[in-house]
Structure 1
Amino acid sequence: MAAAWRFALGGLAALALTTGASGCSGMTPGDAGPEEGAALPNAVERPSRLIGDGSTAETGPQPRQPKPRRLGPGEKPPQFVVFSWDGAGEDGQKLFSRFRAVGRKYHATMTYFLSGVYLLPYGKRELYDPPRHAAGASDIGFNDVEGVRDTVRQLRGAWLEGNEIGTHFNGHFCGSDDGVGTWTTEEWMSEIRQAESFVKRWKTNTGLRNEPPLPFDYSKELVGGRAPCLEGQHNLIPAARAMGFRYDASSIGGRQVWPRRTGGIWDFPLQDIPVPGEDFETLSMDYNFLANQSGITKGDPSLRDEWGDQMRDGLLAGFNRAYRGNRAPFFVGDHFESWNGGTYMHAVESVIKTVCGKKGVRCVSFKQLADWLDVQDPGVLAKLRTLDVGEAPKKGWGRFLGNRPAASHASTRKASGKDAGKRDGSDGKARRADVRRAAE
Structure 2
Amino acid sequence: MTAVRKRITVGAVAAALIAGLAGCAGSGDPAPGPGAGGPEKAGAPPRNTVRLIGDGSTAYTGAQPGLAKPERLQPGSRPPQFVVFSWDGAGEDSQKLFSHFRRVGKEHGATMTYFLSGVYLLPEGKSALYNPPGHAPGRSDIGFNDTEGIRDTVRELRAAWLEGNEVGTHFNGHFCGPERGVGTWSVEDWKSEIQQAKSFVKNWRTNAGLAGEKPLPFDYDKELIGARTPCLEGRENFKKAASELGWRYDTSGVNDQVWPKKDGKLWDLSMQLVPVPGRDFETLSMDYNFMVNQSGTSKGDPSMHRYWGNQMRDGLIQAFNRSYQGNRAPLIIGNHFESWNGGTYMRAIEETIAHVCTKPEVRCVSFRQLADWLDVQDPTVLAKLRTLKVGQAPAEGWARFLTARPASASPAPASARGGSGADAPARVSAVSGTRRDG
Amino acid in the other structure paired with 2:194: I
Indicate the residue corresponding to 2:266 in structure 1: 265
Q: Deviations over 1:28-65 (max 9, x none)?
A: xxxxxxxxxxxxxxxxx942000000000000000001
Alignment partners' CA distance in 2, 1:378 and 1:215: 34
3-state SS of 1:214 partner: coil
Indicate the residue corresponding to 2:435 in structure 1: 436
Is it true that 1:9 corresponds to 2:5 in the alignment? Answer: no
Alignment partners' CA distance in 2, 1:174 and 1:438: 10
Q: Which moved more, 1:53-62 or 1:260-269?
A: 260-269
* Contact 2:121 2:201 (8 Å CA) reproduced: yes
Query: How far 1:89 moved relative to its partner?
Result: 0.1
* Contact 2:389 2:412 (8 Å CA) reproduced: no
Alignment partners' CA distance in 1, 2:289 and 2:181: 20
Indicate the residue corresponding to 1:244 in structure 2: 246
* Contact 2:274 2:283 (8 Å CA) reproduced: yes
Alignment partners' CA distance in 1, 2:40 and 2:175: 41
Q: Deviations over 1:6-47 (max 9, x none)?
A: 97123x2xx7xxxxxxxxxxxxxxxxxxxxxxxxxxxxx942
Query: How far 1:360 moved relative to its partner?
Result: 0.6
Is it true that 1:89 corresponds to 2:91 in the alignment? Answer: yes
Alignment partners' CA distance in 2, 1:367 and 1:420: 27
Query: How far 1:403 moved relative to its partner?
Result: 3.2
Indicate the residue corresponding to 1:347 in structure 2: 348
Alignment partners' CA distance in 1, 2:252 and 2:76: 33
* Contact 1:118 1:142 (8 Å CA) reproduced: yes
3-state SS of 1:8 partner: coil
Alignment of 1:141-290 (within 5 A): 141-252=143-254, 254-290=255-291
Is it true that 1:423 corresponds to 2:419 in the alignment? Answer: yes
Alignment of 1:366-385 (within 5 A): 366-385=367-386
Indicate the residue corresponding to 1:69 in structure 2: 71
Question: Under a length normalisation based on structure 2, what TM-score does the superposition of the two structures give?
Answer: 0.87
* Contact 2:90 2:337 (8 Å CA) reproduced: yes
Q: Deviations over 1:334-374 (max 9, x none)?
A: 00000011000000000000000101100000000000000
Distance 1:209 1:420, change over 3 A: farther
Indicate the residue corresponding to 1:34 in structure 2: none
Indicate the residue corresponding to 1:360 in structure 2: 361
Query: How far 1:205 moved relative to its partner?
Result: 0.4
Amino acid in the other structure paired with 1:9: G
Gaps of 5+ in 1: 16-44
Alignment partners' CA distance in 2, 1:388 and 1:72: 22
Alignment partners' CA distance in 2, 1:304 and 1:291: 13
Report how many aligned residue pairs link the two structures: 395
Query: How far 1:263 moved relative to its partner?
Result: 2.3
3-state SS of 1:370 partner: helix
Amino acid in the other structure paired with 1:120: L
Alignment partners' CA distance in 1, 2:394 and 2:437: 39
3-state SS of 1:346 partner: helix
Indicate the residue corresponding to 1:111 in structure 2: 113
* Contact 1:73 1:404 (8 Å CA) reproduced: no
Indicate the residue corresponding to 1:35 in structure 2: none
* Contact 1:64 1:161 (8 Å CA) reproduced: yes
Amino acid in the other structure paired with 1:92: S
* Contact 1:6 1:66 (8 Å CA) reproduced: no
Match of 2:53 among 51, 54, 61: 51
Amino acid in the other structure paired with 1:200: K
Query: How far 1:420 moved relative to its partner?
Result: 9.2
Query: How far 1:235 moved relative to its partner?
Result: 0.6
Aligned identity (percent) is 65
* Contact 1:49 1:59 (8 Å CA) reproduced: yes
CA RMSD for the aligned pairs? 2.0
Alignment partners' CA distance in 2, 1:423 and 1:301: 35
Alignment of 1:15-54 (within 5 A): 46-54=48-56
Question: Which structure's residues are more often helix, by fraction?
Answer: 2
Indicate the residue corresponding to 2:23 in structure 1: none
Indicate the residue corresponding to 1:42 in structure 2: none
Alignment partners' CA distance in 2, 1:405 and 1:273: 28
Alignment partners' CA distance in 1, 2:162 and 2:281: 40
Gaps of 5+ in 2: 1-38
* Contact 2:250 2:269 (8 Å CA) reproduced: yes
3-state SS of 1:291 partner: helix
Q: Which moved more, 1:294-303 or 1:92-101?
A: 294-303
* Contact 1:185 1:239 (8 Å CA) reproduced: yes
Alignment partners' CA distance in 1, 2:76 and 2:336: 38
Query: How far 1:244 moved relative to its partner?
Result: 2.2
Alignment partners' CA distance in 2, 1:157 and 1:359: 27
Query: How far 1:437 moved relative to its partner?
Result: 3.4
Q: Deviations over 1:311-344 (max 9, x none)?
A: 0000001110011110000001000000011000
* Contact 2:232 2:437 (8 Å CA) reproduced: no
Alignment partners' CA distance in 2, 1:112 and 1:193: 18
* Contact 1:238 1:263 (8 Å CA) reproduced: no
Alignment partners' CA distance in 2, 1:149 and 1:81: 30
Indicate the residue corresponding to 1:414 in structure 2: 411
Alignment partners' CA distance in 2, 1:351 and 1:7: 30
Amino acid in the other structure paired with 1:353: A
Distance 1:368 1:433, change over 3 A: closer
Query: How far 1:387 moved relative to its partner?
Result: 0.4
Question: Under a length normalisation based on structure 1, what TM-score does the superposition of the two structures give?
Answer: 0.86
Query: How far 1:436 moved relative to its partner?
Result: 2.0
Alignment partners' CA distance in 2, 1:129 and 1:293: 37
The structure showing larger relative contact order (alpha-carbon pairs under 8 Å, at least 6 residues apart) is 2
Amino acid in the other structure paired with 2:113: T
Alignment partners' CA distance in 2, 1:377 and 1:84: 27
Alignment partners' CA distance in 1, 2:76 and 2:326: 16
Alignment partners' CA distance in 1, 2:412 and 2:240: 20
Alignment partners' CA distance in 2, 1:72 and 1:140: 46
3-state SS of 1:403 partner: coil
Query: How far 1:413 moved relative to its partner?
Result: 2.6
Alignment partners' CA distance in 2, 1:297 and 1:221: 33
